[in-house]
């Protein structure tokens, strides 16, 4: 597959950062780790990867700004373009030697995500998408799964953890969804969850309170693979708002309906819907 000049810039930055992460992954027990908050770690590997991506993209497009997990907002001279970067999505997986982590790079143009790259260096899987150009995994065209019913489907999500998220809401939602599906998976890296939806490995995904860098590239991948992406109430997806629900048209619709039931019960102070026996 012939890549555009823009996609070449993005993939080269992701793969160079990936080589750095791969080296550190092999020395994970020796990494110096600091704590940003409860159960939320940042490592030297994370910072090195972000610096690599920042330098590579700045060299190629010096006037464009950034929104990055560690560095924050970097204003550019061109207000129309902004890179949204997560240099290490799945930090906790990384620090525990679990090979489910990724570099995620998206390009926002005039408020719209128009290009995305997600690279898992441990598995050598490179996901790419450009608006209107389709989604790919290592140059193989992707399509979302064609399953039409939730009982046949595997749905991914992210779980709240120590000091983060609405634990009660998650218990309502997960009990509702697990009663209606073939299974729920929690990978620990939202960018890869979305890549897996685009690749048809997962049939759907939902999560709350994510950061823009977690979902910017992945949301475009799902759409370019033929999927539907909204917030968790079915409203227009906003990468800055942080709630996301996606899948093919039918699964997306059914998943939203089950989430609505769960949240109606949650807000009403009732009990989660009983699992089917």
Domain of residue 216, CATH code: 3.40.190.80
Looking at the fold, whether 190 and 96 belong to one and the same domain comes out as no
Considering 141, 173, 201, which residue would you say is the last residue of a domain? 141
| 274 inside domain | no
Do the annotations mark residue 137 as ligand-binding? no
Looking at the fold, whether 164 and 78 belong to one and the same domain comes out as no
Question: Can you give 133-171 as a three-state secondary structure string?
Answer: CEEEECCEECCCCCCCCHHHCEEEECCCECCECCHHHHH
What CA–CA distance (Å, rounded) separates 13 from 55? 9
Per-residue pLDDT reduced to its tens digit, 209-258: 999 999 999 999 999 999 999 999 999 999 999 999 999 999 999 999 99
Enter the pTM of the model: 0.93
Do the annotations mark residue 203 as ligand-binding? no
**pLDDT computed for residue 51 by the predictor:** 97
Neighbours of 245 (CB within 10 A): 26
pLDDT of 273 strictly over 60: no
Do the annotations mark residue 173 as ligand-binding? no
| 240 inside domain | yes
Q: When comparing pLDDT for 40 and 253, which is higher?
A: 253
Looking at the fold, whether 157 and 257 belong to one and the same domain comes out as yes
| 272 inside domain | no
Per-residue pLDDT reduced to its tens digit, 152-190: 999 999 999 988 899 999 999 999 999 999 999 999 999
Per-residue pLDDT reduced to its tens digit, 24-39: 998 876 766 776 665 5
Confidence of residue 105 (pLDDT cuts 50, 70, 90): very high
Considering 106, 124, 141, which residue would you say is the last residue of a domain? 141
Q: What is the CATH number of the domain that holds 67?
A: 3.30.540.10
| Residue at token pair 């009663």 | 179
Q: What is the mean pLDDT of residues 96-103?
A: 94
Do the annotations mark residue 6 as ligand-binding? no
| 176 inside domain | yes
pLDDT of 274 strictly over 50: no
Do the annotations mark residue 214 as ligand-binding? yes
Per-residue pLDDT reduced to its tens digit, 116-127: 999 999 999 999
């Amino acid at each position: 597959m012939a890549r555009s000049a823009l996609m070449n810039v993005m993939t080269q930055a992701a793969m160079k950062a990936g080589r750095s992460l791969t080296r550190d992954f092999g020395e994970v027990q020796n990494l110096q780790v600091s704590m940003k908050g409860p159960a939320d770690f940042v490592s030297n590997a994370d910072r090195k990867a972000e610096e690599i991506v920042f330098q590579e993209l700045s060299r190629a497009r010096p006037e464009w700004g950034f929104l990055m997990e560690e560095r924050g907002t970097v204003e550019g001279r061109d207000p129309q373009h902004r890179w949204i970067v997560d240099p290490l999505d799945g930090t906790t997986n990384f620090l525990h030697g679990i090979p489910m982590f990724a570099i995620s790079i998206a390009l926002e143009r005039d408020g719209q995500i128009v290009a995305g790259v997600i690279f898992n260096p441990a598995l050598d899987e490179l996901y790419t998408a450009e608006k209107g150009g389709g989604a790919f995994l290592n140059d193989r065209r992707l399509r979302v799964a064609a399953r039409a019913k939730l009982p046949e489907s595997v749905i991914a999500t992210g779980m709240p953890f120590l000091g983060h998220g609405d634990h009660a809401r998650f218990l309502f939602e997960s009990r509702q969804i697990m009663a209606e599906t073939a299974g729920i998976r929690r990978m620990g890296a939202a960018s890869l969850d979305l890549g897996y939806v685009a690749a048809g490995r997962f049939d759907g995904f939902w999560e709350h309170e994510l950061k823009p860098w977690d979902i910017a590239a992945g949301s475009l991948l799902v759409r370019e693979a033929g999927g539907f992406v909204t917030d968790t109430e079915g409203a227009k997806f906003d990468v800055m708002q942080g709630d996301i629900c996606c899948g093919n048209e039918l699964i997306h619709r059914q998943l939203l309906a089950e989430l609505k039931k769960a949240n109606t019960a949650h807000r009403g102070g009732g009990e989660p819907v009983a699992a089917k026996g």
